[in-house]
Chain A
């Protein structure tokens, strides 16, 4: 276990070095957040939806704050696969899947916390109806935290599957582009899932992508009662198990068929 914690810490520390990227990211996400909020407010002026506009705005800010959790891949890790430096990692007495899982988690966690905290402070200061609202209750705030953790486990498993695909295609761009598109739409990053037609939502919320941020945000805004919160946790848990199993299987297959090219 120690080696996994150690690689986590290492990646964490490395991520902390990139402060310039963090500031750039915060500014970019603030801008996107404001544009999206303005857009939804304009939409509500013309045609109010069943979901209160404050909830939609809060949804947007939480999505933007945790943007790095959704869309961030480890360029060094993908480079390792492309260049063959991965052969060193294969000569280590560790489980490759776990080793990379820890790395990915460090990246996603550091990246999103570093950006989310300053962003939420700024978003709270915006005028009512434009900024981030407080959680529905203390309970929904506390209940949203485990859901966010489970979402993190879920997204790391998805990312590790992308990395495993890269082992086959060698170039990450194709598969990343494809999966990122799915991720952006189905996680609610582009359009809050709460604004999809009800019949669509029934299906979309079952997908793994909805478990990442949509589920914790709905708990935060008080969409779920106690019973349905437990249901959300369970659904997240099921996806985590499935995605982990699939990822581990893929890595195992990759190991068997892997060829490190060149001298």
Chain B
């Protein structure tokens, strides 16, 4: 059996709608956050978990971390049902919610760490060792004695991550950990996660909207939409499925000529020249290039693959999300 096993997981939320005119009571509406979700994750895997807003990603993470009780289905994490044996389960997991904070606002972060040490009953020696390691890896030395309220977002995120890893969890949930970070902090965070995963075999489940996070970190990616799993596999395989479009931008020396292009090619005029997108499967690249060359005197031409965000957007659209 795999480390994480999820079978036929279902979760509904009851939402009260705004009261309509002429009606006394508010109507209730059931939102199906998860409908029949199943997957499994092996120990030491680094899984990316993506999907549009409201797809059920956070709900899954909340159930797996023991915060929410599902309506139906089975979940086992290392042999434990999270919501049934909450205290035993949470000892071995670490969670980072990118938009929330676990550290105390008004006190130096080292004091928050000491509290976590007591909460998880980490022995003194193990704590010192681990803290030293994390301070080094996450570069916390400069602000470890600074109250949280004075830290920048990037510093705070690193401190939050440190707090979640002090007790050496075997399983780490990251819910949008790179939200709002600058490029340097993002890269540092990714490097750290890779290192943690490799060094200690920590299983990591990463929720994000940042495709670069996934590309840099995850060997496996799961796509969730409308509470269902739509894809489960390697990122290149996912991209290949939807990576059907190429973009060409072309600039002519003496004004844009009138192009006679076959059907299926989208043209857009910009200040700088023309932008075309086409599907190589339908129109071979060489053919398009020769059409462009015949039309006039080309000054500049670039050929680009579709960027990942567009691909994901196209995928969401195609899957009707």
Give A contacts to B, CB under 8 Å: 2-3, 5-7, 10, 13-14, 17, 76, 83-85, 87-88, 90-95, 256, 258-260, 262-263
Please give me the residue from chain A that is nearest to B106 by CB atom: A14
Of B22-30, B117-125, B230-238, B249-257, the one touching chain A:
B117-125
Min CB–CB distance B226 → chain A (angstroms): 16
Cα A259 to Cα B12 in complex, Å, equals 11
Q: Are B13 and A10 in contact (CB under 8 A)?
A: no
A92-B119, A263-B176 are known contacts; what are 14 more A-B pairs with Cβ within 8 Å?
A5-B118, A6-B119, A10-B107, A10-B111, A13-B107, A85-B101, A87-B62, A88-B97, A88-B101, A92-B90, A93-B119, A94-B87, A94-B119, A260-B62
Q: Are B118 and A87 in contact (CB under 8 A)?
A: no
Q: Which residues of A contact B111 (CB under 8 A)?
A: 10, 13
Provide 7 A-B residue pairs closer than 8 Å at the C-beta atoms, listed in order of the A residue. A13-B107, A85-B102, A87-B62, A87-B95, A88-B101, A91-B65, A91-B93
Q: Are A260 and B68 in contact (CB under 8 A)?
A: yes
Q: Is B2 positioned at the interface, with any CB of A under 8 Å from its CB?
A: no
Please give me the residue from chain A that is nearest to B167 by CB atom: A93
Q: Are A76 and B105 in contact (CB under 8 A)?
A: yes
What is the size, in residues, of chain B's interface with A at 8 Å between Cβ atoms? 35
Q: Is B175 positioned at the interface, with any CB of A under 8 Å from its CB?
A: yes
Cα A93 to Cα B116 in complex, Å, equals 10
Min CB–CB distance B118 → chain A (angstroms): 4
The 9 closest A-B pairs by CB, nearest first: A6-B118, A88-B102, A3-B119, A93-B91, A93-B87, A263-B58, A90-B67, A85-B100, A2-B118
Cα A83 to Cα B66 in complex, Å, equals 19
Q: Is B69 positioned at the interface, with any CB of A under 8 Å from its CB?
A: yes
Q: Is B104 positioned at the interface, with any CB of A under 8 Å from its CB?
A: yes
| Contact residue among B58, B65, B104, B119 (Cβ-Cβ distance under 8 Å from A14) | B104
Q: Are B53 and A263 in contact (CB under 8 A)?
A: yes
Q: Is B114 positioned at the interface, with any CB of A under 8 Å from its CB?
A: yes
Q: Are A93 and B107 in contact (CB under 8 A)?
A: no
Cα A25 to Cα B273 in complex, Å, equals 70
Min CB–CB distance B279 → chain A (angstroms): 34
| Contact residue among B13, B65, B99 (Cβ-Cβ distance under 8 Å from A259) | B13
Proximity string of chain B (59-102) to chain A, C-beta cutoff 8 Å, 1 when within and 0 when not: 00010011111000000000000000011101101010101111
Q: Is B115 positioned at the interface, with any CB of A under 8 Å from its CB?
A: yes
| Contact residue among A5, A84, A93 (Cβ-Cβ distance under 8 Å from B100) | A84
Q: Which residues of B contact A95 (CB under 8 A)?
A: 87
Cα A260 to Cα B60 in complex, Å, equals 12
Cα A92 to Cα B89 in complex, Å, equals 9
| Contact residue among A6, A91, A256 (Cβ-Cβ distance under 8 Å from B90) | A91
Q: Which residues of A contact B90 (CB under 8 A)?
A: 90-93
Q: Are B121 and A3 in contact (CB under 8 A)?
A: yes
Min CB–CB distance B163 → chain A (angstroms): 9
Q: Which residues of A contact B65 (CB under 8 A)?
A: 90-91
Cα A5 to Cα B121 in complex, Å, equals 12
Q: Are A88 and B100 in contact (CB under 8 A)?
A: yes
Q: Which residues of A contact B118 (CB under 8 A)?
A: 2-3, 5-6
Please give me the residue from chain B that is nearest to A10 by CB atom: B115
- Of B65, B115, B121, most A-chain CB atoms within 10 Å: B115
| Contact residue among A13, A84, A91 (Cβ-Cβ distance under 8 Å from B66) | A91
Q: Which residues of A contact B53 (CB under 8 A)?
A: 263
Q: A10-B111, A88-B100, A91-B93 are in contact. Are A258 and B68 (CB under 8 A)?
A: yes
Q: Which residues of A contact B86 (CB under 8 A)?
A: 90
Q: Which residues of B contact A76 (CB under 8 A)?
A: 105
Please give me the residue from chain A that is nearest to B57 by CB atom: A263
Min CB–CB distance B205 → chain A (angstroms): 14
Min CB–CB distance A79 → chain B (angstroms): 9
Q: Which residues of B contact A14 (CB under 8 A)?
A: 104, 106-107
Q: Are A93 and B120 in contact (CB under 8 A)?
A: yes
Q: Which residues of A contact B69 (CB under 8 A)?
A: 256
Q: Are B67 and A263 in contact (CB under 8 A)?
A: no
Please give me the residue from chain B that is nearest to A17 by CB atom: B106
Q: Which residues of A contact B66 (CB under 8 A)?
A: 90-91
Min CB–CB distance A151 → chain B (angstroms): 28
Cα A94 to Cα B118 in complex, Å, equals 10
Q: Which residues of B contact A83 (CB under 8 A)?
A: 100
Cα A91 to Cα B96 in complex, Å, equals 10
Cα A17 to Cα B107 in complex, Å, equals 10
Cα A3 to Cα B57 in complex, Å, equals 31
Q: Are A263 and B87 in contact (CB under 8 A)?
A: no
Q: Which residues of A contact B97 (CB under 8 A)?
A: 87-88
Min CB–CB distance A108 → chain B (angstroms): 18
Cα A258 to Cα B68 in complex, Å, equals 7
Cα A17 to Cα B65 in complex, Å, equals 34
Q: Which residues of B contact A94 (CB under 8 A)?
A: 87, 119
Cα A57 to Cα B104 in complex, Å, equals 41
Q: Are A87 and B87 in contact (CB under 8 A)?
A: no
Q: Which residues of A contact B95 (CB under 8 A)?
A: 87-88, 91
Q: Are A7 and B115 in contact (CB under 8 A)?
A: yes
Beta-carbon contacts under 8 Å, B98-150 to A: 99-102, 104-107, 111, 114-115, 118-121
Q: Are A10 and B67 in contact (CB under 8 A)?
A: no
Beta-carbon contacts under 8 Å, B18-54 to A: 53
Min CB–CB distance B73 → chain A (angstroms): 17
